[in-house]
Amino acid sequence: MRAKRYGGDNAEERTERRRLALIDAALAVSAEESRKRLTVDRVCQRAKLSKRYFYESFADVDALTEAVFEHVAAGVIDALSTGDADHTDVAAFVHTTTGAFVHYLTDDPRRARALFGELLMTEASNTVRAWAMQRIAAQVIARAREVHHIEPTDPLITTTAAMLIGGAGQAIIGWLDGNISGGRDLLIDNLARLILITGNGAAATARTDAPQLQLPRRSKTRTDGGMFEADPIDVARDRYLRKGLGKPDLFLAMSSVLRLHRRMTADLDQALRPLKLTTTSYMLLITVRFSDDEAMSLVELSRALIVHPATVTLLVDQLEKLGLIERRPSPRDRRATLATLTDKGRTELSRATDALERLSFGLPGTDPAGAYEIVEALRTVRVAAGDTPDK
């Protein structure tokens, strides 16, 4: 039976339109009444919606506040992901992405004030704001890796990304408040110049420091006709013992898992990039596919993927824009929203899985027997860490 349509929208589209109206109303009320606490009544009055429509999408005001930051952060990430920039011309690339960043935040100044100003300042919102900034920083780091071809986990790069985002955000607030003179184009030019200088300097330093992490050099091992320096895990063992830090076994195991995870994620993300997916979004799609009716609530997905609910909402927003996921109300809980696969989602998931299979799912040189050993070796650790019931 086909869903009824009113005014050209079906039920899901109307629900989403009301959800976005409430998010916009929350921004509006906060901007106009910054010293007052956000309430359901004020938001519904501004959105011209009844309370039942509020609770259709949000459990409470904190959930709405979380959605506001998710929405703004998703917009920033989309702006930073602009595909018009030429990676071979670093200066042009930085200027294009900086321009997209500034335009998104200043086209509606409430967005900038929510992320970098004093809108929605509550204890709960501060946590979500910090999460949103981390997501934006991760996108900046990913773009830096594309341009500078550097290791994204370098602490200097992470620190630089956080500094650039925070500094640019405060400059935008200063410009909006009239404390920085000049037009928006001049603001973009100046920010892009500073970001270029700082980013180039950090990348150069990271490249210079990187070889030092391989010291001291040990005997070289020949593999596939090439010369490789000592395994970094062996180097870490020597350093750990030399510094008198105790037994290195567990530290080395942790380091091995983390290094493999970083390289695996980078390789998988690169393979999925042509499909506009990431490792996390792929896992969300296949997790929904695994479910009996190919529909899961956002809460269930958060638990299954072991990620923050805000991250799941952001991922679903992105996948929905790509036409791979649809939202629909839960028939069992009117407050819950289900994520379901579309026909296009199934097709793209199949293509993504084929691409990862060709990459051995990020485990090159591993045969089925070796894969089984990895699963079993990690099972004990996962159970002890509470990842799965110990049965």
Q: DSSP secondary-structure letter at 390?
A: -
What is the spatial distance between Cα 47 and Cα 23, in angstroms, rounded to a whole number? 9
Instruction: Say what the pLDDT of residue 8 is.
Output: 53
Q: Which of 150, 172, 152 is nearest to 100 (CA)?
A: 172
How high is the mean pLDDT in each 10-residue block of the chain (391 residues)? 51 84 88 72 91 87 83 82 61 86 91 78 66 76 68 68 87 93 93 88 69 39 43 80 80 89 88 91 94 89 86 89 91 82 94 93 87 87 75 40
State the DSSP string of 273-326: GGGT--HHHHHHHHHHHHSTTSEEEHHHHHHHHT--HHHHHHHHHHHHHTTSEE
Backbone angles phi, psi at 227, to 5 degrees: -105, 130
Beta-carbon count within 10 A of 331 CB: 9
User: Closest Cα partner for 345 from 311, 310, 315, 320?
Assistant: 320
Candidates 166, 384, 370, 359; CA nearest to 272 is 359
Q: How far is CA 368 from the centre of its chain?
A: 32
Q: Name residue 271's amino acid.
A: A
The Cα–Cα gap between 41 and 45 comes to: 6
* Nearest residue to 260 (alpha-carbon basis) of 384, 363, 366: 363
- Cβ contacts of residue 54 below 8 Å, gap of 6+? 22, 40, 43, 44, 64
Contact (CB, 8 A) for 96 and 84:
yes
Of 279, 266, 278, 272, which Cα lies nearest the Cα of 150? Answer: 266
Would you call 74 helix, strand, or coil by DSSP? helix
User: CA 66 to CA 61: how far, in whole Å?
Assistant: 9
CA distance 308 to 322: 22
Cβ neighbour number for residue 206 with a 10 Å cutoff:
19
Residue 1's pLDDT is what? 39
Encode 230-259: b = buried (16+ Cβ within 10 Å), e = exposed.
Answer: beeeebbbeebeeeeeeebeeeeeebeeee
| Per-residue pLDDT tens over the stretch 235-281 | 788 777 777 787 888 888 899 898 898 889 888 988 999 999 999 99
Q: Tell me the longest C-alpha to C-alpha distance in the chain.
A: 73
What is the per-residue pLDDT for 286?
95
